[in-house]
């Protein structure tokens, strides 16, 4: 097989793990399967989702478009859906002769059969836990079709909660508390359960990767691993700081391509995945797609890379409009309803970490924030009011304004209305 031939694609995606994995420098995390995949392939260190919330983040991953353009601006179980006419990765690849299948987690529609897959194996009665999902994926791969295929394998993990009977916690004393969280017994106990969830999900990931090997598909299959957004902790999930929008993204090209393992330079956004897969499949990228292909990188060739990524937040438990731009060095964040405290999602509010959260974490937010990532990678020192950074802030603000205008961001016209109908947290296909 050569790089001009069309690869199979297996996309494994988790919930709420960000880059909290051994391959991304977290020494307290046991994730040998993902770490091995990263060592054998390409580990993208500057990959980002478009929003730190489940449904809209996944919507961008599968449409190559931002939440405010594809219509999925909030959670499916709160009434949001794709806008009419939206195209997805599986629908486009199906038209190009791929067999497409969904196994496990999805959170882009109340009706998974609307998503464009040829086969749907959803979990309608409860969360798509990684154990049974990985087993079904293994069985599917053992009988993989002869034509090129696109298989998505979605795990509920590492979404909260982390019950000890399903995810044996690690020793809280062994946990490395990120600098943006308070180090206390509540945080450590919470992180101990989270790390237990990672261990279980990682083992299931390894079973899927091993099935690709046993089925003799490694030479012809592109393996992708990612997550929807950052970890479910304060200053992460639900925020536009790096712990909220930076994600693991690992790609192992088909072995027959002979691409050397490594960590490619440059920024990457989840909106770039669709155009990349369509290009690799030999099809035209729809003009409505807002991402840019990185297929050349997967082939081991030089290619144009991003200089910036954009992110947004609209609806989770409540309306919370935020926009942001991230470059190699700077992060600029604009809160469109300033003066309000950070709005923690319900799962974080109900978690143990909330018990140890000081009031400093809930101080009112300014209209603008600016961070120099060279000196402040955890984004703890806001430079928006520093005169020496005024020119940098103005330049980033102008670039953000241009993006909002070019993409017809509805917040430019005022508050975005929630969809009519139910806004409860009722069951949704997982």
Q: What is the pLDDT along the chain (430 residues), one digit of tens a residue?
A: 455 589 999 999 999 999 999 999 999 999 999 999 999 999 999 999 999 999 999 999 999 999 999 999 999 989 999 999 999 999 999 999 999 999 999 999 999 999 999 999 988 778 999 999 999 999 999 999 999 999 999 999 999 999 999 999 999 999 999 999 999 999 999 999 999 999 999 999 999 999 999 999 999 999 999 999 999 999 999 999 999 999 999 999 999 999 999 999 999 999 999 999 999 999 999 999 999 999 999 999 987 789 999 999 999 889 999 999 999 999 999 999 999 888 888 899 888 998 888 776 678 999 999 999 999 999 999 999 999 999 999 999 999 999 999 999 999 999 999 997 544 444 433 3
pLDDT value for 151: 98
Report CA dihedral (318, 319, 320, 324) to the nearest 10 degrees.
Answer: 130
Specify the pLDDT at position 360: 65
* Strand 309-315, strand 221-227: pairing: unpaired
Are the C-beta atoms of 54 and 107 separated by less than 8 Å?
A: yes
pLDDT of residue 341: 87
pLDDT value at residue 346: 86
CATH topology of domain 309-411: Arylsulfatase, C-terminal domain (3.30.1120)
pLDDT number for residue 2: 53
| β-pair type (246-252, 8-14) | unpaired
- What strands lie across the sheet with 368-372, from one edge to the other? 309-315, 319-326, 330-335, 368-372
Which stretches of 28-154 are assigned E, i.e. beta strand?
A: 42-48, 99-104, 119-121, 149-154
Beta carbons within 8 Å of 17's beta carbon, 6+ residues apart: 158, 198, 201, 227, 231, 248
**Domain 8-298 fold:** Alkaline Phosphatase, subunit A (3.40.720)
Q: In this predicted structure, what is the pLDDT of residue 173?
A: 97
pLDDT of 344: 86
Rounded to 5°, the CA angle 107-112-115 comes to: 95
Domains of the chain, residue spans: 8-298, 309-411
- The total of other beta-carbon atoms located within 10 Å of residue 144's CB is 20
**pTM of the entire structure?**
0.95
Q: What is the pLDDT of residue 322?
A: 98
For residue 282 the two structure tokens come to 């030999």
Contact present, 230 and 245 (Cβ < 8 Å): yes
Establish whether domains 8-298 and 309-411 are of one fold: no
């Amino acid at each position: 097989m050569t790089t001009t031939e069309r690869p199979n694609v297996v996309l494994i995606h988790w919930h709420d793990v960000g880059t909290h994995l051994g391959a991304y420098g977290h020494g307290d995390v046991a994730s040998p399967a993902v770490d091995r995949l990263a060592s054998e392939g390409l580990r993208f260190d500057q990959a980002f989702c478009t929003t730190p919330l489940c449904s809209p983040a996944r919507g961008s991953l599968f449409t190559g478009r931002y939440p405010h353009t594809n219509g999925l601006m909030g959670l499916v179980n709160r009434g949001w859906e794709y806008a009419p006419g939206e195209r997805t990765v599986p629908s486009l690849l199906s038209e190009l002769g791929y067999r497409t299948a969904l196994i496990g987690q999805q959170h882009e529609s109340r009706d998974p059969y609307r998503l464009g897959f040829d086969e749907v194996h959803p979990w309608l009665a409860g969360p798509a836990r990684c154990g049974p999902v990985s087993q079904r994926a293994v069985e599917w791969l053992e009988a993989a079709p002869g034509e090129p295929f696109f298989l998505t394998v979605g795990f509920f993990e590492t979404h909260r909660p982390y019950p000890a009977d399903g995810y044996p916690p690690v020793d809280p004393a062994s946990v490395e508390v990120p600098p943006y969280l308070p180090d206390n017994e509540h945080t450590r106990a919470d992180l101990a359960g989270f790390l237990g969830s990672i261990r279980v999900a990682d083992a299931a990931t390894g079973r899927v990767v091993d099935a690709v090997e046993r089925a003799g598909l490694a030479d012809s299959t592109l393996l992708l691993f990612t997550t929807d957004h950052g970890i479910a902790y304060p200053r992460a999930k639900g925020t536009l700081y790096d712990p909220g929008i930076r994600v693991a993204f690992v790609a192992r090209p088909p072995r027959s391509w002979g691409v050397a393992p490594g960590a490619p330079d440059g920024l990457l956004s989840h909106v770039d995945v669709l155009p990349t897969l369509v290009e690799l499949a030999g099809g035209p990228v729809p003009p409505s797609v807002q991402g840019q292909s990185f297929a050349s990188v997967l082939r081991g060739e030089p290619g144009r890379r991003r200089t910036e990524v954009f992110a947004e937040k609209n609806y989770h438990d409540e309306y919370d409009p935020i926009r942001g731009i991230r470059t190699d060095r700077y992060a600029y964040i604009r809160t469109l309803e300033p003066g309000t405290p950070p709005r923690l999602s319900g799962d974080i509010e109900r978690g143990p970490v909330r018990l140890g959260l000081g009031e400093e974490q809930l101080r009112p937010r300014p209209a603008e924030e600016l961070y120099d990532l060279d000196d402040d990678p955890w984004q703890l020192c806001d430079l928006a009011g520093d005169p020496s950074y005024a020119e940098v802030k103005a330049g980033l603000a102008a670039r953000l304004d241009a993006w909002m205008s070019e993409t017809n961001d509805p917040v430019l016209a005022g508050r975005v209305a929630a969809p009519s109908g139910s806004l409860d947290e009722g069951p949704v296909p997982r």
